Amino acid sequence: SRPRLVELPTYAFQRDRYWMESAPEGVGDIIPGSADSGFWDAVERGDASEVADLLALPADGESLTAVLPALSAWRRRDREWSAVEGWRYRVAWSPVTVAS
């Protein structure tokens, strides 16, 4: 049986690119004017009636008023942690010696 034929590049630098493209700056951020944005803005302001409206909950207020500071603090910690994680990530290349 004959070996399979493989296409070779016509010159040294011809190649296909299989790397994923980098995400544009800000991808994954909350988009201003989105439902998430409105929700977190209301949480940060401590506006229990608006949060109740967004979640379609009865506007009794007491339970939401009690939980809004905790949600706001959680969101702040999450954002800070995400920023720190971004600083810790670093691409580093190490030479590899191939045994012959």
| The pLDDT of residue 72 | 92
Which pair of structure tokens corresponds to residue 48?
A: 């229990």
Reported pTM: 0.50
Which pair of structure tokens corresponds to residue 30?
A: 């909350």
| The pLDDT of residue 25 | 60
Show pLDDT as tens, one digit a residue, over the chain (100 residues): 889 988 876 766 666 676 777 666 655 556 666 678 888 889 999 888 888 888 888 877 678 888 899 999 999 888 888 877 777 777 778 888 888 6
For the CA atoms of 29, 56, 70, 48, the dihedral, rounded to the nearest 10 degrees, stands at 110
